[in-house]
Amino acid sequence: MLVLVAVAAFVSTILGGLFALRLADKLHLILGFSAGAVIGVAFFDLLPEALELSSNATSVATVIALGFLLYLALDRLLLLHGHGEHERGSVGAGSLSLHSLLDGVGIGLAFKVSPEVGLVVALAVLTHDFSDGINTVSYILKSGGGRTKAFRWLIIDALAPVVGILLTLFVTVSESSLGSLLALFTGFFLYIGASDLIPESHHAHPTFWTTAMTILGAAVLFGIIRLAHL
| pLDDT number for residue 81 | 47
| pLDDT number for residue 43 | 92
| pLDDT number for residue 121 | 65
The C-alpha atoms of residue 18 and residue 22 are separated, in whole angstroms, by 6
Q: What is the dihedral of CA 127, 163, 19, 30, to 10 degrees?
A: 80
Structural domain boundaries, residue 39 = 2-228
Ramachandran region, residue 158 (left: φ > 0; alpha: ψ -120 to 50; beta: rest): alpha
| pLDDT number for residue 84 | 54
**Number of structural domains in the chain:** 1
| pLDDT number for residue 113 | 59
Residue 114: how many CB atoms within 10 A of its CB? 10
Distances in whole angstroms, Cα of residue 146 to Cα of each of 52, 57, 80, 111, 180:
39, 41, 23, 38, 34
Q: Mean pLDDT in runs of 10 for the chain (230 residues)?
A: 85 86 74 82 87 89 93 70 59 80 78 66 69 82 82 92 88 77 85 76 71 89 77
Q: How many CA within 13 A on the CB side of residue 136?
A: 35
| pLDDT number for residue 62 | 96
Q: What is the CA radius of gyration of the chain?
A: 17
| pLDDT number for residue 41 | 81
pTM of the predicted model as reported, rounded to 2 decimal places: 0.66
The C-alpha atoms of residue 121 and residue 73 are separated, in whole angstroms, by 33
Query: Quick one: DSSP state of residue 42?
Result: I
Helices (H) and strands (E) in the chain, counts: 10, 0
